[in-house]
């Protein structure tokens, strides 16, 4: 019998929980519900879910405060599902450790797609350094080799560092701050424009059409993600 992933739905609005519950049940997920932060933390400890869907507007505590607490459960994937659509809220949630962020109102098919990508990403991390095949581009993190159409692509150290960070979490948005902290860890001067220039260079080397990127995609004002098959996020340059 197939192992069913268990999802904890944390939302104080019963009709939203019912909507998500119906979609997850049709997709054969096991589900647990919580209507506030206290109940959510109790369910988290007892049920040990594979994935958490977290609303930020909870009645007894700001959902952002729960993000690092939930992520202490090392094997739990966390997707924020919130009506808060400000860029700074999204960046804050992602910088605190959320794996993705979906804004209400949402399409349930997109929600399910994001769950699949997030769970696949978790399994990839558990399996060690992966080899990713993205069209004619192959990224071998173990060998630290990138090829395009069978030919090795020569990357500068910082170019590889950015690509490797994105490839370690395919399908997940990585914020500008997370990337810069990783790539420019020992440098006092960090500026997002350095990162934008570096990503443009990577696209020139990897994309079939750098003006219409299909591999490294932009989350406007937030960061970048490595687009993988089944990831239906909008593609944009930036």
Q: What is the pLDDT of residue 124?
A: 60
Q: Is residue 148 part of a domain?
A: yes
Question: pTM of the entire structure?
Answer: 0.74
Claim to verify: residue 194 and residue 146 sit in the same structural domain:
yes
Return d(Cα 12, Cα 174) in angstroms, integer.
Answer: 28
- Out of 126, 157, 184, a domain closes at 126
For residue 44, pLDDT over 60 is answered with: yes
For residue 156, pLDDT over 80 is answered with: yes
Choice among 20-34, 46-60, 65-79, 194-208 with the minimum mean pLDDT: 65-79
Q: Is residue 231 part of a domain?
A: no
Claim to verify: residue 136 and residue 106 sit in the same structural domain:
no
For residue 162, pLDDT over 70 is answered with: yes
Work out the pLDDT band at 141, boundaries 50, 70, 90.
Answer: confident
Claim to verify: residue 118 and residue 153 sit in the same structural domain:
no
**For the chain, what is the domain count?**
2
Q: Could you tell me if 82 and 103 are in contact, meaning their C-beta atoms sit under 8 angstroms apart?
A: yes
For residue 71, give its domain range.
Answer: 6-126
Q: Is residue 182 part of a domain?
A: yes
Return d(Cα 27, Cα 224) in angstroms, integer.
Answer: 28
Q: Is residue 121 part of a domain?
A: yes
Where residue 192 sits, what CATH number does that domain have? Answer: 1.10.10.10
Q: What is the pLDDT of residue 123?
A: 65
Q: What is the pLDDT of residue 172?
A: 86
Where residue 102 sits, what CATH number does that domain have? Answer: 3.40.50.2300
For residue 68, pLDDT over 80 is answered with: yes
Stretch 158-181: mean pLDDT: 90
pLDDT tens for each residue of 102-131 = 999 999 999 998 898 888 777 665 555 578
Q: What is the pLDDT of residue 184?
A: 85
For residue 82, pLDDT over 90 is answered with: yes
């Amino acid at each position: 019998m197939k192992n069913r992933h268990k999802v904890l739905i944390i939302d104080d609005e019963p009709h939203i929980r019912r909507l998500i519950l119906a979609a997850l049940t049709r997709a054969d997920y096991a589900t647990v519900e919580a209507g506030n932060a206290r109940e959510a933390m109790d369910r988290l400890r007892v049920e040990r879910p594979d994935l958490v869907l977290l609303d930020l507007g909870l009645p007894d505590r700001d959902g952002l405060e729960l993000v690092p607490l939930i992520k202490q459960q090392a094997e739990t994937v966390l997707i924020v599902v919130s009506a808060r659509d400000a860029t700074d809220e999204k960046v804050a949630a992602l910088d605190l450790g959320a794996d993705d962020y979906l804004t209400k109102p949402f399409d349930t098919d997109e929600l399910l797609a994001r769950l699949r990508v997030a769970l696949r990403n978790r399994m990839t991390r558990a399996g060690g350094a992966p080899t990713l095949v993205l069209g004619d581009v192959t990224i071998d993190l173990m060998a630290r080799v990138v090829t395009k159409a069978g030919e090795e692509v020569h990357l500068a150290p910082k170019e590889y560092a950015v690509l490797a960070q994105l490839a370690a979490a395919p399908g997940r948005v990585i914020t500008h701050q997370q990337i810069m902290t990783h790539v420019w860890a020992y440098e006092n001067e960090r500026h997002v424009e350095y990162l934008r220039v570096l990503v443009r260079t990577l696209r020139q080397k990897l994309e079939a059409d750098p003006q219409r990127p299909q591999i490294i995609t932009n989350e406007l004002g937030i960061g970048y993600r490595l687009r993988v098959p089944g990831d239906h996020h909008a593609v944009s340059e930036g």
